[in-house]
Amino acid sequence: MRRNKVFATGVAALALGLSLTACGTTEDGGNGGSDADCDVKLAFFGPETGDAAGLGKPIIQGTQLAIDQYNEDADCKVEFVKYDSQGSPDEAPALATEAAGDESLIGVVGPAFSGESAAAGDTFAEAGLPTITPSATNPTLADNGWDTFHRALGNDATQGPAAAKYIKDTVKAGKVFVIDDASEYGAGLAGIVEKDLADAVVGTDTIQQKQTDFSATVTKVTDAKPDAVFFGGYYAEATILVGQLRDGGFDGTFVVADGVKDPAFLDAKDAAEGTIITCPCIPDTEPAVAEFAADYEAEFGEAPGTYAAEAYDAATIFLDGIDEGVDNRADMLEFVNNYDDEGITKQLKFDEKGEPADVHVYAYTVKGGAIVPEGEIK
Amino acid sequence: MNFEFLFNNLPELTITGLAFGAIYALVALGYTMVYGVLQLINFAHSEVFMYGTFAMLWTVMALNGAEADGVKLIAILIAALFLAMLMSAAIALILERVAYRPLIKRDAPRLIALISAIGASFVLAELMGLRDKVAEWLGLDDNLDDYVSGARINNSMAGVLEKPRFDVAGVSVSSIDLIVIVAAVGMMVLLDQFVRRSRLGKGIRATAQDPETASLMGVNPTRTIQVTFLIGGIMAGIAAFLYMLKIETTRFDVGFLLGVKAFTAAVLGGIGNLRGALLGGLILGVAENWGSALFGTEWRDVIAFVLLVLILLVRPTGLLGESLGKARA
């Protein structure tokens, strides 16, 4: 009996320990203009550290570049602050409350992910703090009636059909197996692809995040013998999954979406070759972003990562507002809602739900150990 | 429920399940042995395993395993196996010395040792997760960059191994899965015989039965406890090696879920019982795979723990139920 008690206490203590590790956030002060600032701040909201830091970095740097360029010849320097949510929906609400409490903060680039956007959206809407996400693509985010919500890229309702179209028309797959990771983002996207492909879907499975052994899923795939596998999820699982699928004998096309478009996916080495990645993010080879890409590389010593250009566009909208003398949230919100100008990635204009009026989805492929653009999916 | 799929693919699902179950079993040994001797759950054992996976990864990186093949690759893998065992054994011994021995000496309640173990587990995991910062403090970040970068994301050695598959009676089998199962079961049999027949093994069993009488008979309890941790560490090192052969990817928190599963396997088989750990691990691995096939992979953990509850309801001491001390010689 005593033994059982020890177990119970152990499990309880373990659970407590687990929940404790979720704390410990860092909030970095910006390093924007320190001289002659006029107490106006823009913020990044998303993962700066943590598991998804790799996806947050280009967004931070794209925003940073836009603000630095603006500050160079502005009398009124804009300060850049970062709210590091680690990409976690659990962290987001408290951080959003903190952001809402800072009255000099009048625009947020982010939240970066769909899960944290859903968790923090109410707080931003109540505070009237306008947000423009350069990367959260779950379609339902726009249906919450948050007038502060804006999205600088196409959502999964546009990315999903584009992925399905690519699988049908370009990969010419007659049989497709659809896998998702049960996340807000992955399950939503996989659902759309599944619906669009209809009869072509020969099977589905749902994995768990942080899972490492996918043998049951692999057996399901090899049993169904599909021409292509679509995976809705992030790169951490995709990297291991594609390796095990290839080892299991799957030799069709592996198709994934923007959550996998990260250099870490290339860790899968040969198994990653030929993978198709769809993304509403503009390739840096497009002429429109060439100048941005050159500036970015000069500043940070690396080519712009996924969503750097979208983040740059999002920050530019806010900066244009500040340039016109906007210095409070209500005016900024109105300014963003009525914005209509050419950005580097697309024509920047939002409909009444905050969705972009102009949407492009691009295909990328893994070739020779690099992610290379294949062109726009039209 | 997809019974047809399960029956059509039963051999494949069983073999891949056994392979992962064998890894659970090897890690479960560490929990079970320490429990048998000290009646204490070593929750930091999952980190002993995690450090082993990194020892393997770093060895392969340092010896440039990605470009080696044939005999050279095998030599690198053998070196990686020994270093993984060495690393895990070292971490287990350090744990015993730092987190347990001072408490046991002072006759602290079991609960205190449990908290100490959980604390040690977090310290070890975060130390690995922050290794880039640690290297920075030590001024070694330039030299060690390949080894400490990406401290909080997956670290992969994919592409080092070819994993040929072959057909046995129409069933496609991965060579790695076979190696994992054979190696793990082989190690378990060896260990079982060691504990049953050797002088040290008798000492371990005697201490498990009655530490005071054992020490009167000339068994050094401190040394016996050390040996127990050492063996658990070596087994976790082997598990780490086999895990990396199969999954090829690790990260600083990889031990957590695997540790919980291995602990479950130990309880399932009867904690404190070596053969129980093997049985529990294999059953858990197969049940997870069959369950994933029947209900969908998202139910994998639910199935594992429902199974645990059901078995404990019927047999509260686990399947084999005997303690380490009562093992028949």
* Close Cβ partners of B259 (under 8 Å, ≥ 6 residues apart): B27, B43, B45, B46, B47, B49
> How confident is the model over B71-86, as a mean pLDDT?
95
Chain A within 8 Å of B301 (Cβ-Cβ)? yes
For B28, B39, B183, B293, the CA distances from B246, given in Å and listed in that order, are 18, 33, 13, 20
- Give the closest residue to B291 by CA, choosing from B281, B301, B282: B301
pLDDT of residue B328: 45
pLDDT of residue A286: 84
The helix or strand, by DSSP H or E, that contains position A69, with its residue range, turns out to be helix A53-72
Tokens 């199962």 correspond to: B181
Chain B residues with CB inside 8 Å of A7's CB? 41, 267
With H, G, I as helix, E, B as strand and everything else as coil, classify residue A148.
coil
CB atoms within 10 A of CB B167: 8
Ranking A235-244, B70-79, B133-142, B223-232 by mean pLDDT, the lowest is B133-142
Q: What is the pLDDT of residues A269-316, one digit of tens each?
A: 999 999 999 999 888 888 888 899 999 999 999 988 889 999 999 999
CB A138 within 8 A of CB A161: no
Q: What are phi and psi of A363, to 5 degrees?
A: -105, 140
Beta bridge partner(s), residue A203: A177
Which residues of chain A are under the pLDDT cut of 50? Answer: 1-3, 6, 10-11, 14-35
For A66, B50, B178, the CA distances from B150, given in Å and listed in that order, are 27, 16, 32
CA–CA gap between residue A39 and residue A322 (Å, rounded): 11
* Close Cβ partners of B232 (under 8 Å, ≥ 6 residues apart): B29, B30, B31, B33, B34, B42, B45, B48, B92
Ordered by where they begin, the domains of chain A are 27-154+286-349 (3.40.50.2300), 157-279 (3.40.50.2300)
Q: Which of B111, B243, B248, B301 to mutate to test the interface with A (most CBs of A within 10 A)?
A: B248
Chain B within 8 Å of A221 (Cβ-Cβ)? no
Chain A residues with CB inside 8 Å of B10's CB? none
pLDDT of residue B150: 82
For A132, A318, A320, B298, the CA distances from A325, given in Å and listed in that order, are 19, 11, 9, 52
Beta bridge partner(s), residue A201: A176
Q: What is the pLDDT of residues B19-36, one digit of tens each?
A: 999 999 999 999 999 998
Phi-psi region of A87 (alpha: psi -120 to 50; beta: other; left: phi over 0): left
Question: From the centroid of its chain, how far is CA A7?
Answer: 40
Distance (Å) from the alpha carbon of B139 to chain A's nearest alpha carbon: 21
For A257, A280, B84, the CA distances from A378, given in Å and listed in that order, are 16, 12, 51
Tell me the residue type at A41: K
CA–CA gap between residue B272 and residue B285 (Å, rounded): 20
Distance (Å) from the alpha carbon of B195 to chain A's nearest alpha carbon: 23
**Residue A204 burial by CB count (10 A; 0-12/13-18/19+): exposed, middle or buried?**
middle
Token pair of A177, please? 């197996």
pLDDT of residue A171: 94
The helix or strand, by DSSP H or E, that contains position A176, with its residue range, turns out to be strand A176-180
* Residue in B with minimal Cα distance to A269: B159
CA–CA gap between residue A349 and residue A174 (Å, rounded): 37
Dihedral, CA atoms, A327, A331, A333, A336, nearest 10 degrees? -90
* Residue in B with minimal Cα distance to A204: B296
CB A216 within 8 A of CB B13: yes
Token pair of B75, please? 């030599």
Chain A within 8 Å of B154 (Cβ-Cβ)? yes
Tell me whether residues A213 and B248 touch, CB distance under 8 A. Answer: no
Question: From the centroid of its chain, how far is CA A356?
Answer: 16
Mean pLDDT of chain B: 91
Half-sphere exposure of A268 (CA within 13 A, CB side): 28
Chain B within 8 Å of A3 (Cβ-Cβ)? yes
**Residue A86 burial by CB count (10 A; 0-12/13-18/19+): exposed, middle or buried?**
buried
CB A310 within 8 A of CB A288: no
What proportion of chain B, given as a percentage, has pLDDT over 90?
64
pLDDT of residue A189: 94
CA–CA gap between residue B31 and residue B25 (Å, rounded): 10
CB B243 within 8 A of CB B97: no
Report the CATH fold assignment for B3-154+171-314: ABC transporter involved in vitamin B12 uptake, BtuC (1.10.3470)
Tell me whether residues B12 and A219 touch, CB distance under 8 A. Answer: yes
- Helix axis angle, A235-247 relative to A215-224, nearest 10°? 60
Distance (Å) from the alpha carbon of A308 to chain B's nearest alpha carbon: 20
Q: Is the peptide bond before B109 cis (omega within 30 degrees of 0)?
A: no
CA–CA gap between residue B176 and residue B214 (Å, rounded): 43
* Residue in A with minimal Cα distance to B312: A4
For B30-52, letters b (16+ CB in 10 Å) and e give bbbbbbbbbbbbbbbbbbbbbbb
Tokens 């244009």 correspond to: A320
Establish, for the pair of chains A and B, how many residue pairs have beta carbons separated by less than 8 Å: 123
> How confident is the model over B92-101, as a mean pLDDT?
95
Beta bridge partner(s), residue B276: none
Chain A residues with CB inside 8 Å of B248's CB? 240, 243
Tell me whether residues A6 and B111 touch, CB distance under 8 A. Answer: yes
Chain A within 8 Å of B300 (Cβ-Cβ)? yes
Chain B residues with CB inside 8 Å of A4's CB? 316
CA–CA gap between residue A202 and residue A225 (Å, rounded): 9
Chain B residues with CB inside 8 Å of A212's CB? 247, 249, 254
> How is chain B split into domains, by residue range?
3-154+171-314
CA–CA gap between residue A111 and residue A103 (Å, rounded): 18
Beta bridge partner(s), residue B172: B167
pLDDT of residue B325: 60
CA–CA gap between residue A48 and residue A56 (Å, rounded): 6
Query: Considering CB atoms only, which of A6, A206, A240 is closest to B249?
Result: A240
Chain A within 8 Å of B244 (Cβ-Cβ)? no
- Give the closest residue to A148 by CA, choosing from A304, A372, A346, A318: A318
CA–CA gap between residue A51 and residue A156 (Å, rounded): 22
Q: What are phi and psi of A131, to 5 degrees?
A: -120, 145
pLDDT of residue B324: 64
Write out the DSSP string of A268-313. Answer: GGGGGTT-EEEESSPPTTSGGGHHHHHHHHHHHSS---TTHHHHHH
Tell me whether residues B41 and A6 touch, CB distance under 8 A. Answer: yes
Chain B within 8 Å of A207 (Cβ-Cβ)? yes
ipTM of the complex: 0.91
pLDDT of residue A16: 47
CB A220 within 8 A of CB A189: no
Based on C-alpha coordinates, what's the Rg of chain B? 20
The helix or strand, by DSSP H or E, that contains position A131, with its residue range, turns out to be strand A131-133
Token pair of B40, please? 């204490």
For A59, A220, B201, B291, the CA distances from B12, given in Å and listed in that order, are 43, 10, 37, 14
The helix or strand, by DSSP H or E, that contains position A33, with its residue range, turns out to be none
Sorting pLDDT into bands at 50, 70 and 90, what band is B142?
confident
